[in-house]
Amino acid sequence: MRLATWNVNSIRTRADRVVDWLERADVDVLAMQETKCTDAQFPMMPFAALGYEVAHVGLNQWNGVAIASRVGLDDIEIGFPGQPVWGGSPGKDPAEATAEARALGATCGGVRVWSLYVPNGRTLADPHYAYKLDWLAALRDTAAGWLKEDPERPIALVGDWNIAPKDEDVWDMAAFHGRTHVSEPERAAFQAMHEAQFTDVVRPFTEGPGIYTYWDYTQLAFQKRRGMRIDFILGSPGLASRVTHAEIVKDERRPKKGTTAPSDHAPVVVELS
């Protein structure tokens, strides 16, 4: 099985690029983030034409996650148990807090896949930062519970984690001083997933500085190699033992003549025996 994750940064804008890559890459399951559309707006037909079933949850032009699979799509679950809700800014009525479209699970070819779009955090002083840490803690606790119930279950937690766990995962640590994505609490939250037995199954195949999954659109960041590694596939022991190869498909971040602009993220792929 070939399993991939990709923050597509608007599926309606980039459906042609995503579907074209799916066909060329021979991917069996693709988890997508930042689809930026409602369920009714998701372009299902191009995926169906290639033999993919699609599960999607999206509420508006923000967030949104999806899973496209050609090896089955069963036990679909919107949100994980205990997922925090976002109450918005200080002073907002707590009753208006909502569970955002940031997590979607499905069983594909015997593998439990979760497409995850971790909150950004915005700034270290923003309420969204506390929300991000709460969200990650809840995910860790819930995922640990899944393994307690079935230690051998192959589970893939995949997506845009909005965390660069190591200094080498950003182009210049000095440029990120006092900012989110590299703060110690965020990195500790990511490490807590490892302690819950969910390991980064891509890094062993893509080790080293200067290997990124995201490049901002501004200031020629891609051309200047000013990126971040923030997209990951974390696997349970039952999944990690089956990984035979992994790659970050950097070429899909490049502009291509005659197509729409690329996402600011690149696909991340693993192969499972």
Q: pLDDT (tens digit, 9 = 90+) per residue, 81-128?
A: 999 999 855 555 555 577 899 999 999 999 999 999 999 999 999 999
The predicted pLDDT at position 24 comes to 96
Q: Alpha-carbon distance 44 to 41, whole Å? A: 9
Confidence at 198, pLDDT banded by 50, 70, 90 = very high
The predicted pLDDT at position 44 comes to 98
pLDDT (average), residues 229-237: 98
Reference 256, options 16, 4, 35, 5; nearest CA is 16
Average predicted confidence (pLDDT) for the chain: 95
Predicted TM-score of the model (pTM): 0.96
Per the model's pLDDT, the better-predicted residue between 61 and 159 turns out to be 159
Share of residues in the chain with pLDDT > 90 (%): 91
Q: Alpha-carbon distance 141 to 157, whole Å? A: 13
Three-state DSSP state, 272:
strand
Q: Alpha-carbon distance 20 to 22, whole Å? A: 5
Q: Alpha-carbon distance 34 to 102, whole Å? A: 8
